[in-house]
Structure 1
Amino acid sequence: MTRVLVTGADGTIGRETVRHLVALGFAVTALSRSFEHPCVADRIVTGDARSPEDVGRGLEGADGVVHLAAIPHPRLGTPLEVYATNTTATYAVLSLAGERGVRRVVLASSINAFGVPMNPHDVGPAYYPLDEDVPADVADPYSLSKQADEAAARAAWRQWGTGVVALRFPLTQQHDRLREIAADVARDPAVMAREGWAYLDVRDAARAIEAALVAELDGAHVVGLAADDVLLAVPTTELLARFAPDVPLRWAVGPDDALVDTRRAREVLGFRPRHSVHACAAGGSVQELDDLS
């Protein structure tokens, strides 16, 4: 693989991905509706991932695609805008890449593809640790769009033979921003109980994308991602006991364990996260749950 198109290249994951791939020696075409940050890609396309013309320009010379462009939350537009924007952009990228014989597309899916974290009803996960087959309960347009994107990945493989990897990203940010979010969540840990307090350092997100681009595989794959621990400096067992006591466990969970099953990332992509939000925590001790009341 020589040239990679990255859509959504000016977003948080997009910027880190472009930097990471360029550092590895890839030629990168960066596509975004606007560029508010410096971009190290050697080709820049200002355009919309929903536009066949803009995507076509971005695909010139590309033999791999990383599709990150999306409206990332259901409240950042009307339900129709969120769903239509995300699904139209994904299918535009997949269909044009397929027609041009691009052999690998990596899509940004989301932990929200199973619907529970953003569900407006009082629902919880069917079990922990979450995996790619956890039963879905979808009621919001963003989660629905990610579920549709994963279905589109399977269709692209069947129609054009394109190898597609849909990565289910959890909360993904830079290290310092994750620590800020963790401090906010610590005031009300219940707000992240439905997603198992899962997170990923953006540097690991870029590494996972690299792994998905170069892995030897065929077909369409959905792969869950998360750090090896939870966002809060609190034992996982205590979080479960207090905020998700009725969610069944698929196996015994230890105090330092994550609540996302990432075996598929290891087995299919050879990927393991390297970074923890707690790496620089003073003293390395956990908080007492009483401090989170």
Structure 2
Amino acid sequence: MTHVVVTGGSGKLGAAVVTELLEHGYEVTVLDRVRPAALDPRAQFVQLDLTDYGQVLEALTAVDDRYDHVDAVAHLAAVPAPGLLTNSATFANNVPSTYNVFAAAQAAGILNVVWASSETVLGLPFGSSPPPSFPVDESYAVRPQSTYSLGKAVEEEMARHFTRWNPDLKLIGLRFSNVMVESDYAAFPAFEDDPESRSWNAWGYIDARDGAQAVRLALESTLTGFEAFIIAAADTVLSTGSSELAARYFPDVPFTREVVPAETLLSIEKARRMLWYRPEHSWRDHV
């Protein structure tokens, strides 16, 4: 059985990833500052501070009677959005934690690391920095607009060099859209009253269960080196057509291809092609 440690398993996405991995036969250990409120009894928990390299290195090698090896890492722990802490506190938590995971994994001989990057590196909020085209994809250089996003951009740059130093290493950054769980969907109909309120990320979102699927598929991928993938739902948060929304709120942004009425404007084609990612969940099934 493959042993995967999941940092941030107490979070919205992390909890879904733990469930996804357990249901697919993985041994799972959650590494976090706080114990998950409802930890699956099949999973283990080890408390640690990811900003402390020594603790991370120990956790990726062995922990007394808990485990004696780690095969792969899903690194999801972070301050999850801009503005939750001061800018310097956000950067000082997120970037060193990710460096410690990358460096400790390499020191421990772990070659399979998937981590949570962010849609924000695409230039969010789009209201102040429209994308070059729709659907937005991974083809253009990152352009962070916040300290949180700057940290994610730094993490992706670190990944490029860690994999340059070690060509056998796999570091996959998943640029998750706004993560939602089923209970969040009750609020979606109200977005229809103010479509502009969700234009900041081109009306994107990701169901946590589909985000977890993407993590598992990335861990199972035979890719090596650094790759980044946009991970979003197949649709938008609104019933209004995607092309109509773009024409209304981003009239100067061209389309590179036609999109179907409710199709996401955050392209998941690369993830579909290279990871076999197939989102299965939509808010429309719950409202």
In the superposition, the TM-score normalised over structure 1's length comes to 0.89
* Contact 2:4/2:73, CA 8 A, preserved across alignment: yes
Secondary structure in structure 1 of the residue aligned to 2:158: helix
Q: Which residue of 1 aligns with 2:58?
A: 57
The 3 A distance-change label for structure 1 pair 136 and 162 is closer
Tell me the amino acid that sits aligned with residue 15 of structure 2. R
RMSD: 1.7
Unaligned 5+ segments in structure 2 are 63-68
Percent of residue pairs bearing the same amino acid type: 33
- Indicate if the aligned counterparts of 2:52 and 2:100 stay in contact, CA closer than 8 A: yes
Residues 74 and 141, structure 1, Cα contact 8 Å, conserved in 2: yes
2:182 equivalent among 170, 175, 179: 175
Cα 1:148–1:184, aligned 2, differ >3 Å: closer, same or farther?
farther
Q: How many Å separate the matches in 2 of 1:58 and 1:185?
A: 43
**Structure 1: how far apart are the matches of 2:110 and 2:141?**
32
Partner of 2:66: none
TM-superposed CA distance for 1:277, in Å, is 0.9
CA distance in 2 between counterparts of 1:45 and 1:54 reads: 10
Distance 1:28 1:185 in 2: 37
CA shift digits 1:204-244 (9 cap, x unpaired): 11111000001111111101111111111222122122222
| 2:217 alignment counterpart | 211
Map of 1:47 onto structure 2: 48
Segments of 5+ residues of structure 1 without an aligned counterpart are 282-293
Task: Say which is worse superposed, 234-243 or 15-24, in terms of deviation.
Answer: 234-243
| Counterpart among 69, 76, 89 of residue 77 in structure 2 | 69
Instruction: Say which SS state the counterpart of residue 278 (structure 1) adopts.
Output: helix
1:86 has 2:98 as partner? no
Q: Give the match's secondary structure for 1:45.
A: strand
- Say whether 1:4 aligns with 2:8: no
CA distance in 2, matches of 1:141, 1:43: 33
Structure 1 residue 76 displacement after superposition? 1.1
**Counterpart for residue 282 of structure 2:** 276
Task: Find 2:122's aligned residue among 114, 118, 125.
Answer: 114
1:145-184 correspondence runs (5 A) = 145-160=151-166, 161-180=168-187, 182-184=188-190
Secondary structure, counterpart of 1:75 in structure 2: coil
Question: Where do residues 230-245 of structure 1 align in structure 2 (5 Å cutoff)?
Answer: 230-245=236-251
SS at match of 1:54: helix
